[in-house]
A and B are shown apart, each in its own frame.
Chain A
Amino acid sequence: GGASFWEGDGKGSGGGVMLWRGFASAGVRGARCVGLARRGLASEAAAAATDKLRLNFVVPHKPIKNNELVDMVVVPGASGVMGILPQHAPTVAQLRPGVVAIQYGDRTERYFVSSGFAFIHTDRADVCAVEAIPVEDIDPAAVSKGLSECEATASSAANELAKAEAQIGIDVYHAMQAAITEK
Chain B
Amino acid sequence: KVEGGLGGVGEGGGGGEAMAQYWRVAGMTYLRYGNLCAEYARKAVKEGAKSAAKERAPFTMVKSEWEAGKPVSKEVISSTK
Report B-chain residues with C-beta under 8 Å of the C-beta of A79.
Answer: 11
Q: A133 near B40 (CB under 8 angstroms)?
A: no
Separation of A173 and B40 alpha carbons in the complex (Å): 8
B23–A131 touching, CB < 8 Å: no
From 1 to 20 in chain B, residues with beta carbon under 8 angstroms from any chain A beta carbon are 9-11
Rounded to whole angstroms, the CA-CA distance of A115 and B28 in the bound complex is 15
Which chain B positions have C-beta within 8 A of A161? 26-28
How many pairs, one residue from A and one from B, have CB atoms within 8 Å of each other in the complex?
Answer: 88
A94 near B23: Cβ-Cβ < 8 Å: no
- Of the listed residues A137, A167, A168, A176, the one surrounded by the most CB atoms of chain B closer than 10 A to its CB is A168
CB closest chain-A residue, reference B30? A115
| Complexed CA–CA distance, A143 and B46 (Å) | 10
Q: Are B27 and A114 in contact (CB under 8 A)?
A: no
Count residues on chain B whose CB falls below 8 Å from chain A CBs: 27
Q: Are B28 and A142 in contact (CB under 8 A)?
A: no
Known contacts being A137-B49, A168-B33, is A112 close to B41, with CB within 8 Å? yes
Task: Tell me, rounded to whole Å, the shortest Cβ–Cβ distance linking B14 to chain A.
Answer: 9
With A114-B34, A138-B46 known as contacts, the answer to whether A160 contacts B27 (CB < 8 A) is yes
Whether the pair A61, B23 counts as a contact (CB closer than 8 A) is no
Q: Is the CB of A167 within 8 A of B23?
A: yes
Chain B residues in the interface with A (C-beta under 8 A): 9-11, 22-23, 25-28, 33-38, 40-49, 53, 56
> Can you list 22 A-B pairs, Cβ within 8 angstroms, ordered by A?
A61-B56, A78-B10, A79-B11, A115-B38, A130-B37, A131-B41, A133-B41, A133-B42, A137-B49, A138-B44, A139-B44, A142-B43, A142-B45, A164-B23, A164-B25, A165-B23, A165-B36, A167-B23, A168-B33, A168-B36, A169-B36, A172-B41
